[in-house]
Amino acid sequence: MRIPPRQVQTLVVGMLGGATLLTLAVLVFIVVFVLDKGLPVVTWTFLAANPEDMGRAGGIFPIIVGTLLLPLLALGIALPLGVGSAVYLNEYTRETQMTRIIRFGTDCLAGIPSIIFGLFGLVFFVGILHMGWSLLSGGLTLAIMILPTIIRTSEEAIRAVPQAYREVSCSMGATRWETVRKVVLPNALPGIVTGVMLGAGRCISETAAVIFTAGTVAQMPVSAFDSVRTMAVHFYLLAREGISGENAYGTAAVLILAVLILNTVAYWTMHAFIRRKAR
């Protein structure tokens, strides 16, 4: 028996649509589940108080501070390196053996799992460079981790700047560096912001690499050599050791909200960027 192609198509499209709905349903379920259980716990005192009794009581203020400082430090290191790499690859060279090696390295780095970054940070920054479990070790490790993300998004942003802009700049006698600084980078800025948001999102979601390098001390850091605890780590410790279900959900809710906001801003800036370019 042969089923007419039209009916096959209807059937298949139905199945593909079902798969898409299922995927979206999983996303909605995760977000709603966490927010539903967690949001009632999130009050101003929860956000502004210190954790007490290993996180059973009190709030998450030093943990929020840690979650802000660590990505800031990581981005402070990865942003100049990533944007600089992207500028070199697009503005200063043609496709050569060298650029192929650089791109290969970037792609490989992007595929390395976070636990390997954690092991490396533990040996190199914590051990050999004597930084200990600290903000600095964690920031450096995460900087390497998000470097490929920053390079890729910056490259795309820089490539989207019309060639005519560069030609006009050069025809007015500007050097290549002046063109990069005054024409290319300002026009690529929104795309670079997208990379920053995505990088920050990866940093605050990360757990394994952070535990290995920044430690788990839930106190206000005073210097770059103090250990910090991020929200993802705090959530993991509370949930896995079964210390406090309630505060775990509260932390997860704040974490998910932060991730949602970062991703939305990233998408929105990129979209605005593309629209402006299309005009």
Partner 1 sequence: MRLSADKFAQYTFLGIACSAIASLMLIAVFSLKEGLPFILWYGPVEFLTSTNWNPQENQFGVGAMIVASLWVTAGAMLIGAPLGVAVAVFLSEFVPRPVMRVIKPAIELLAGIPSVVYGFIGMMVLAPLIRRHLGGPGLCILSAAIVLGIMVLPTVISISVDAIGAVPNSFREGALALGATRWQAVRMVVLKAARSGIVASIILGMGRAVGETMAVIMVAGNTPRLPHGLLEPVRTLTANIAIEMSAAIGRHREALFATGVVLFVVIMGLNSLAMAVMRRKGAR
Q: Binding of partner 1 at residue 107 (CB under 8 A)?
A: yes
Residue 76 CB, nearest approach to partner 1 (Å): 14
Tokens of 189: 């800025």
Given the rule CB under 8 A, which of 63-71, 162-170, 182-190, 230-238 is the region that contacts partner 1?
230-238
Q: Binding of partner 1 at residue 15 (CB under 8 A)?
A: yes
Which of 87, 193, 218, 228 is the binder for partner 1 (CB under 8 A)?
87
Rounded CA separation 219/62 (Å): 6
Q: Binding of partner 1 at residue 8 (CB under 8 A)?
A: yes
Q: Binding of partner 1 at residue 24 (CB under 8 A)?
A: yes
Residue closer to partner 1 by CB (options 218, 232) is 232
Reported as half-sphere exposure (CB side, CA atoms, 13 A), residue 220 has a value of 6
263: CB partners within 8 A, 6+ apart: 197, 198, 201
Which of 35, 39, 47, 102 is the binder for partner 1 (CB under 8 A)?
102
Tokens of 68: 């802000």
Residue 219, classified by CB atoms within 10 Å of its CB into exposed (0-12), middle (13-18) or buried (19+), is middle
Residue at 91: amino acid letter:
E
Q: Binding of partner 1 at residue 212 (CB under 8 A)?
A: yes
Q: Which of residues 38-77 bind partner 1 (CB under 8 A)?
A: none
- For 51, the enclosing helix (H) or strand (E) is strand 51-52
Q: Binding of partner 1 at residue 186 (CB under 8 A)?
A: no
115: CB partners within 8 A, 6+ apart: 208, 209, 212
Q: Which of residues 131-150 bind partner 1 (CB under 8 A)?
A: 144, 147-148
Rounded CA separation 242/113 (Å): 26
Residue at 45: amino acid letter:
T
Q: Binding of partner 1 at residue 89 (CB under 8 A)?
A: yes
Residue closer to partner 1 by CB (options 19, 220) is 19
Residue 50 CB, nearest approach to partner 1 (Å): 22
Residue 186 CB, nearest approach to partner 1 (Å): 16
